[in-house]
Amino acid sequence: MKYKNINHLNLKAFLVGHYGSKKILQASSFLNKKYLPSEIEIIYLNFGNFNKKKLHGCDYQSFGYFGSSKKYWSANLVKVLKNINDEFVLLALDDFLLSKSLNVDNFMKLYSELENNSDYIAAELTLSPMEKALGNFTEKNSIYIYPDTFGFSINTQWRIWKRQNLIKILENTTDAWNFEVKGSEIQNKSDFKSISNYKPVLDYPEISAITQRNLKNVSVFANQYEDIEELIDLGYLKRDELILGQWKSGIPLYSKYQKNQYDVLNLIDDIDEKLYYKLLLDRCLNIT
């Protein structure tokens, strides 16, 4: 089947952040420009001001101010989305650091599925390793459909969205967490579905680089060693702040495991959790 050319889509990618994620915007934009086609317009949405000249050609829009950030997260995003007429948009949080280039053919497969099926409203660009391992993948049927029992059928990972459907969900939610939890409840009770692709589309560690758990640190787990070192050399990341993962305790330092992240797996006791992180490393670090 022949798909549309990505050059003709005029897609905008809205990457939503918070004050804490501002510290990695230079690193994030550097990787996004490296791994995403130039035809995708990247727009960062964050609170307060930021010097766009530091974002490697990406755009920046103020998303309001911190005092209103949590309560009006969804409402602020609705305002942004209602100011454009695009049928489809890309949406994600801004603190996912990319590991590999977008697979355009597999991306266009997802886009085509959305375009030609009225029941599909969003397509996730990275399928969780465990969902992939447990799924029913065939070469003829590479599309994964999130079941209505899935707790996070709506989330803030990289997705292609039908803009109008996204707006409707946002209008019934408040903050990012509520968007994922209540948004999933809304979708799971409807006839609409989210999809993904068993084949690789956009590989990155689906663990946020910055979390409330480790505010002073930045996770580079499952990012390419060469990228990390270049970002350090450019001054976009600080070596002494880098960790591998977002653990509750015993946070592994990048400086200790930098040349072999697989050694981190020895710190995990739970078999299923260890398998998840191994598959994530395999996917993002080019090992199959």
Q: What is the CATH number of the domain that holds 190?
A: 3.90.550.10
DSSP 8-state code for residue 113 = H
Domain boundary among 163, 197, 231: 197
Place of tokens 């609705």: 78
- Assess whether 263 and 154 both reside in one domain: no
pLDDT grade for 138, boundaries at 50, 70 and 90: low
User: Is pLDDT at 7 greater than 90 in this prediction?
Assistant: no
| pLDDT for residue 18 | 85
Task: State pLDDT tens for residues 256-273.
Answer: 999 899 999 999 888 988
pLDDT at 188 over 90: yes
Same domain, 117 and 162: yes
Q: What is the pLDDT of residues 76-104, one digit of tens each?
A: 999 999 999 999 999 999 999 999 999 99
Residues 161, 25, single domain; the answer is yes
The confidence score (pLDDT) of residue 68 equals: 54
Quickly list DSSP for 79-94. HHHHT---SEEEEEET
| 21-75 pLDDT per residue, tens | 999 999 999 999 999 999 999 999 998 899 999 999 999 999 876 555 567 889 9
pLDDT (0 to 100) of residue 39: 93
Q: Which of 77-81, 168-172, 223-227, 284-288 has the lowest mean pLDDT?
A: 284-288
Residue 132: predicted pLDDT = 61
Q: Are residues 183 and 235 in the same domain?
A: no
Query: Which residue is listed with tokens 């022949």?
Result: 2
Last residue of a domain, one of 135, 165, 197: 197
**Count of domains forming the chain:** 2
Segment holding 133, helix H or strand E: helix 129-134
Q: What is the pLDDT at residue 141?
A: 72
Q: Return the closest-CA partner of residue 149 out of 107, 198, 193.
A: 193
Q: How far apart are CA 122 and CA 37, in angstroms?
A: 20
110 and 227 both lie in a single domain = no
**What Rg do the C-alpha atoms of the chain give, in angstroms?**
18
Determine, yes or no, domain membership for 179. Answer: yes
Report d(CA 78, CA 170) in Å as an integer: 7
Question: What SS3 class is residue 236?
Answer: coil
Residue 137: the pLDDT is 54
